[in-house]
Structure 1
Amino acid sequence: MARILILANQDIGLYKFRKELIEELVKENDVYASMPNGDYVPKLVDLGCEFIETSISRRGTNPIADLNLLGEYRKIIKRIKPDVVLTYTIKPNVYGGLACRMGNVPYIPNITGLGTAVENGGLLQKITLFLYKVALKKASCIFFQNRENEHFFLDKKIIQHNYRLLPGSGVNLDYYSLLDYPTNKTINFLFISRVMKEKGIDQYLEAAEYIKKRYPNTRFHILGYCEQDYEDKLREMQNKEIIEYHGMQNDVRKFHKTSNCTIHPTYYPEGMSNVLLESAACGRPIITTNRSGCREIVDHGVNGYVVQQENSQDLIEKIEGFLKLNHENRKQMGLNGRSKVEIEFDRKIVIKAYIEEINKIYMLTEGNYNGK
């Protein structure tokens, strides 16, 4: 049996978006998962992972803490002696990649988005890109989730070869099955995300306030953890019956059942939006921004609409356009979205790519790996 080490920055993302990959890997391998402790760790252990608690400051920029993380990864690699390491998100990609390079261990990083440090430019971008260049140099294969991120790394000469494009994290088409389209007269819109500025919450709230006045048969729902800056505003708008805030939800499918459309006006540097993939898989039209990680999932006017980022007026106009459609056209939009993700974004595509790259590593090293 081979030893596979996974480095991630949180348990919930690893479980929700890599569960099926882990299920495949544990069939014939010992799988270890390094990340901070959390509510989903027991679920990962139940899948067959051995958990290694590792502290990570996800948004911190303290160089001492980051050097400690590098040292911790080196200790883990020395103890586990993995045959291959899989990494996700910036800090595991960078410091895990450095640790693997130092230990001469094959590793496969997944670029799940550029992150604000890279996108905003300045000194922090230069430092991050330098670290990426050093960390990724000896990677066995670098996975990208969208073409724009891939081109950015090529243009900055961070990578030159051994890279591959994935359809994001893909979507489990069985778990997010096609749902019957609602027939009620009330039109329900759904926002699923952390409630924060970069996810487009301001545009969503402005649009909700405008649309509710002119179209009383609409309802605007919000699901997700709320940043403190927005708690009072959400409470106020809920009291005015402009929005309905449902907080964090472990299973959003029950909300998709009654939803007519998902609105995702994000301008956060996404890899590939799982919110949009899951919504489309359920047969729901989507309205989202014209940026990488979102526009790839929408064929404008076919399974939804693309809007300009940070543009409330454009969002309002697209919502009004959607409201003017009849029931059958809205339903067909949802069916078009389901067909698109079945062809382009099935999670099985992602699993197959990982198994292929892991097989390549073992053919180059031991030549006796029998993964599927």
Structure 2
Amino acid sequence: MSPISTRHRPNYTKTIKFARSERVLFVVTEDWYFVSHRLQLAVHLKSKGYDVAVATSTRNSEAIIAEGGITLLPLRYMKRRNVNPFTAFMAIIELALIYRKFRPDIVHHVALIPVIIGFFAAVLSGVRRRVNAIAGLGFVFTSDSLKARAVRIILLPLLAIALSGRHAVVVVQNQENLKALRKLTHATKIFYQVSGAGVDIEKFRPPAHEPDEKSVVLVARMIWSKGIGDFAEVARRFREAGKACRFVLVGDIDLGNPAAVPSEKLEAWRQSGYLEWVGHKNDMPPILRKSTIICLPSSYGEGVPKSLIEAAACGRPIVAYDVVGCREIVRDGKNGLLVSPNNIDLLEKALASLLDDESKRLAMGKESRRIATGVFSNEKVFTAFEEIFRDVLRR
């Protein structure tokens, strides 16, 4: 974790002791995302004596959150997409009431909409300390479409305001997002770079023996920008060429996302026999260990993809498109291969070359494990966030 600032960095040599009643409130649009990307951090903070809660919309993860000992404060109006003035206003009021009731010492806003909505709720409720995490810039900031440009005109001034204040810090996952946010919002405040959401390196371990059957696995939400179509086309080409290799999609359809791959298309691919789609899986380590290569041909504005961090921890070689976020975890030629985005021919060649070279795969897998344990482990990420919270509580 590295703080990058135009202001003076606080002196951490002085020992700070916390009151054990410090309250941290996570604000996330959807419960499944909290479980996937922030629950382990929340449980860790609770073990350190913090009083931890999450404000989020609920779908089917209430039991998992409760098992972690985290207080759940349901949200009705905050939406990841299709935000209109009425729902935005209601979301601000709803969240402000939650802030007043829970009285957090720190609010941890996760992603763009919570950052903006959460800022106005914090102003209304008198909450000062904010940790604003923006994992990736995504469609709105990376697309040149008319719709994306129109949304940017509205969001950029709001985001610049939401990131302001001496009691707030911004957390990003890679240098390119850091530079882009500074340029887009003209922000001069403290930014922290934290490498991803962390991974349990004891749970996600390399296999004792390499799998006998060759397989290429893509783990992601089923949206086109994650490269699902390119992956399916490579799978078709392998089948037509008579190359023996399974191609497996792991992940749910992202309901409500305009870029979601239709279930009919996924079923058609599955029926064709050259591509498997197994949906969402809770127990990921066995799936990753049984894979030969993990592939993510994403053209999406990533932070650091959690699926690739977990794949690296399991000692898997990775093939990905050379885009922001993916290149943070994939070191080209070291633990995997980076391919020019949207180039299906090069993607096919990269996968074929690794599938035909076991010694290279093994060497890349070992390097993946080394990178995961050295940079992306829960221990390192949690320590980074504890330092961030110490900084914010000083303010």
**Range into which the TM-score falls when normalised by the shorter chain:** over 0.9
Cα distance in structure 2, aligned partners of 1:16 and 1:115: 18
Tell me, what secondary structure is at the counterpart of 1:262?
strand
Q: Please point out which of 47, 69, 79 is paired with 1:57.
A: 79
- Give the superposition deviation at 1:215: 4.2
Q: Please point out which of 263, 269, 275 is paired with 2:295.
A: 263
8 A Cα contact 1:181 1:331, kept in partner: no
Tell me, what secondary structure is at the counterpart of 1:7?
strand
1:317 paired residue number: 349
Amino acid aligned to 1:207: V
8 A Cα contact 1:119 1:125, kept in partner: no
1:222-244 CA-to-partner distances (Å, cap 9, x unmatched) read 11113674323332332231011
2:241 paired residue number: 214
- Give the superposition deviation at 1:96: 0.6
**Percent of aligned pairs with the same amino acid:** 24
Cα distance in structure 2, aligned partners of 1:332 and 1:215: 27
Tell me, what secondary structure is at the counterpart of 1:156?
helix
Q: Please point out which of 41, 50, 55 is paired with 1:29.
A: 50
Q: Please point out which of 154, 164, 177 is paired with 1:137.
A: 164
Q: Please point out which of 318, 334, 346 is paired with 2:365.
A: 334
8 A Cα contact 1:171 1:347, kept in partner: yes
Q: Please point out which of 83, 93, 113 is paired with 1:71.
A: 93
Q: TM-score, normalised by structure 2?
A: 0.87
Tell me, what secondary structure is at the counterpart of 2:177?
helix
Tell me, what secondary structure is at the counterpart of 2:325?
coil
Q: Please point out which of 150, 167, 170 is paired with 2:195.
A: 167
Equivalent positions of 1:293-372 (< 5 A) are: 293-325=325-357, 327-364=358-395
Cα distance in structure 2, aligned partners of 1:201 and 1:183: 24
1:116 paired residue number: 139
1:138-176 CA-to-partner distances (Å, cap 9, x unmatched) read 152210011111101111244212111010112221121
Residues matched between the structures, number: 362
- Give the superposition deviation at 1:74: 1.2
Cα distance in structure 1, aligned partners of 2:345 and 2:285: 29
CA pair 352-210 structure 1, distance change in 2 beyond 3 A: same
Cα distance in structure 2, aligned partners of 1:25 and 1:168: 17
1:204 paired residue number: 231
RMSD over aligned Cα atoms: 1.7
Cα distance in structure 2, aligned partners of 1:287 and 1:168: 18
Cα distance in structure 1, aligned partners of 2:367 and 2:113: 37
Cα distance in structure 2, aligned partners of 1:234 and 1:209: 13
8 A Cα contact 2:30 2:57, kept in partner: yes
Cα distance in structure 2, aligned partners of 1:24 and 1:191: 29
1:91-131 CA-to-partner distances (Å, cap 9, x unmatched) read 11111122224424211011111132222241211211111
Tell me, what secondary structure is at the counterpart of 1:141?
strand
- Give the superposition deviation at 1:10: 1.5
Kindly indicate whether residue 267 of structure 2 is the aligned counterpart of residue 235 of structure 1. Answer: yes
8 A Cα contact 1:212 1:219, kept in partner: no
1:14 paired residue number: 34
Deviates more, 1:24-33 or 1:242-251: 24-33
Cα distance in structure 1, aligned partners of 2:386 and 2:185: 27
Q: TM-score, normalised by structure 1?
A: 0.92
8 A Cα contact 2:130 2:392, kept in partner: no
Gap regions ≥5 residues in structure 1: 365-372
CA pair 137-236 structure 1, distance change in 2 beyond 3 A: same
